[in-house]
Amino acid sequence: MTSRERSTGADPGARPDQGRDQDDLVVLVDDLGRPCGTAPRGHVHGSATPRHLAFSCHVLDGAGRVLVTRRALGKRSWPGVWTNAFCGHPRPGEAVVQAVRRRAADELGLTLPTPPRVVLPAFSYSAVDDAGTEENELCPVLVAVVGTDAPAPDPDPTEVAAWRWVAVEDLVVAADVAPWAFSPWLVAQLGELEALGGLEAAAVEAVPSPAVAWAADA
């Protein structure tokens, strides 16, 4: 990836993720993706993480570039790795698309001009980082498009250490050559999206209405 990196100036010694938003409730799901309870966010990312509902969003600029962000060093899981634009968790009763818009504003200071599109409605993954923190998520993947003249991201430094706009093809190559430098969910998503013709194609082609439990309230 060759585009210039923008740092947020976050304190590398801080551990903000240990307390920030940890009381937000997330939606627990069963093996079929059906809601089966709630739990505080701070309680569902540990060594035995229950399966829960999340989302990942990629942001394109309409000129063949995708926004990537480097996770803040204070993040509980996968600190310091590069990943997609942003992720998050829908709150109980909150539609996924609504949660994506909320998180875009909170984490990156972005206003999405058009509704994000669901491109991988049934994506899920489980992974454990070097510190033993497990992610175990039903994680629908969405794509949002902003104009090339959109304001620059203004990230929350407790979430994002740096960001770049990069060519989509450069990101795909980098994730293939050095997957350890990226979040495991990003690497897996790029693989599934390539099977659909790539990230840019998925952003504009019709995706069948997702027959998944999380979409019932979306």
Strand boundaries in 61-202, DSSP class E: 65-71, 82-83, 86-88, 117-120, 124-128, 134-138, 141-145, 160-167
From 5, 36, 137, 169, the catalytic residue? 137
Using pLDDT thresholds of 50, 70 and 90, give the confidence band for residue 6. Answer: low
**Is 21 a residue whose pLDDT tops 70?**
no
CA–CA distances in Å: residue 124 to residues 53, 56, 103: 9, 10, 19
Catalytic (active site) residue 205: no
Q: Which backbone phi and psi does 128 adopt, to 5 degrees? A: -125, 130
137 is catalytic: yes
pLDDT reported for residue 7: 61
How many helices (DSSP H) and strands (DSSP E) are in the chain? 4, 13
pLDDT of residue 149: 86
Instruction: Kindly list the distances between the CA atom of residue 181 and the CA atoms of 41, 86, 122, 188, in Å, as whole numbers in the listed order.
Output: 25, 16, 25, 13
* Pairing verdict, β 55-60 and 141-145: parallel
- Give pLDDT, residue 187: 98
Give tens-digit pLDDT for 173-213. Answer: 999 999 999 999 999 999 999 998 999 888 877 555 555 66
User: Domains in the chain and their CATH numbers?
Assistant: 6-217 (3.90.79.10)
Q: How confident is the model at residue 214 (pLDDT cuts 50, 70, 90)?
A: low
Could you tell me which residues are annotated as the binding site? Answer: 45, 52, 89, 107, 135, 137
**For residue 92, pLDDT beyond 80:** yes
Give the global pTM: 0.86
- Counting residues of the chain whose pLDDT is more than 90, the rounded percentage is 66
d(CA 52, CA 171) in angstroms, rounded, equals 28
Summarize the annotated binding site for Mn(2+) as residue ranges.
45, 52, 89, 135, 137
What's the CA gap between 213 and 187, in Å, rounded? 25
Q: Which residues on neighbouring strands pair with residue 29, listed in sequence order?
A: 35
Q: Among 57, 87, 159, 200, which one carries the catalytic annotation?
A: 87
